[in-house]
Structure formats: structure tokens, C-alpha cells
A = this chain, B = another copy of it.
Amino acid sequence: MQKNAAPPCPFDKRFPSQLVRDDTFYMSLAFNQGIDAWREDEVPIGCVIELGGEVIASAHNRVECTNDPTAHAEMLAITQAASRAGDWRLENATLYVTKEPCPMCSGATLMSRVKRVCYAVPDPKMGCLGGATNLNDLQRVNHHLEITAGGVLEDECRELLQRFFQEKRKGGDSDRSA
């Protein structure tokens, strides 16, 4: 399959104040990762992980360039964060991601024991933290999350995703998904 060049990204990165470290601050950084993904012709989903007021991981979707179906933003960020924390249990961390996690990534948030997941755009088709189903409701799984579902930069992150797929369809490249 021939790779097309990325369509030009019509969105700008965000530059939030470092002094106000709220959900919008961290989601802005996740959004910026999404922009980086677009520029690399990857589905524009970004993720950052916060621990103790610091960003300990940031990543974006890299499925196409790595040829690896596990290379979603959340997975790459979780691996990074665990490496930084020196422990696979990320018990006090919050994961910010621009779209509700897919089945795999939803599971990874449980297995990595992050304290909270905050996602921007709900996904009723593939999302597994409230959209298509909620894995956090499984009673016997040995960890449960706090979830902030939508409402933080939701419109911006949705527009980034929708516009990417529109541009790809215009370019005749309809086979991408992640």
C-alpha cells in the first residue's frame, strides 16, 4: 500500500499558561500531540500522563509509521510513564487523551492502575470507558478508575479528528483507521 503525504493541518497548537495546571492545560498538550500525529499522517489522537503536577509522558498514535496495531497514543504514553515512574503501577497518575480509549487502550488504563482517565471526545462506536461499553464496570477486575468523560476541549479534539478523516477521504485514502 502506497503511503500518501499528510494533508496540510489547518489547526494550530495551543499554548496554555504553565501557571494553571487544570484539565484544560493537560488536554491542550494532548491536543498538541494530536497535531503532531496529523503532520505525520497518523490518525490525530494524542495523550499525556500527569503525575504530581508534572507531565511524565506524552505520545500520539503511530500505528501506520510503525506498522504496529498496538502503537496507539495511550499505549505508548503508558509505557513511557511506567518507565519514568520506575513502577508499572501508575496509581496516582491521570491519563488525558483526546478521544475515548478503544477496547485495547481502555483495558490498558485498568491494567496500569492509573487513578483517573480524562477523555475529550466520547466514542459510542469503539470507546470502552462509557461509549460502546464500560470496562470500568467489571466488578472483579482488580482496579477501578475515576473517569472524566467529555467536556474538556471536546469540540476542538472532535474537530481535529473529523477534519482529518474528511481530508483523507478527499485525497482518496479511505483505508486508515486506528
Q: Among the interface residues A67, A68, A103, A177, which one has the most CB atoms of the partner chain B within 10 A?
A: A103
- Residues of chain B within 8 A of A140, CB atoms compared: 124-126, 132
Q: Give the segment of A14-22, A80-88, A158-166 that binds chain B.
A: A80-88
Partner of A70, one of B87, B108, B124, B133: B108
Chain B nearest CB, measured from A36 CB (Å) = 20
Evaluate contact between A141 and B125: CB separation under 8 angstroms. yes
Partner of A113, one of B67, B69, B142: B69
Evaluate contact between A103 and B112: CB separation under 8 angstroms. no
Query: How many copies are assembled?
Result: 2
Instruction: Contacts A70-B70, A70-B108, A140-B124 given; indicate if A135 touches B103 (C-beta within 8 A).
Output: yes
Evaluate contact between B69 and A108: CB separation under 8 angstroms. yes
* Residues in A121-178 with C-beta less than 8 Å from chain B: 124-126, 128, 132-133, 135, 138, 140-142, 177-178
* Residues in A56-92 with C-beta less than 8 Å from chain B: 63-64, 66-70, 72, 75, 78-79, 82-83, 86-90
Q: Does A102 contact B (CB under 8 A)?
A: yes
Chain B nearest CB, measured from A9 CB (Å) = 23
Instruction: Contacts A69-B88, A126-B140, A128-B135 given; indicate if A105 touches B107 (C-beta within 8 A).
Output: yes
**Sampled A-B contacts (9; CB under 8 Å):** A63-B88, A64-B88, A67-B86, A68-B88, A69-B78, A70-B79, A105-B107, A106-B107, A128-B138
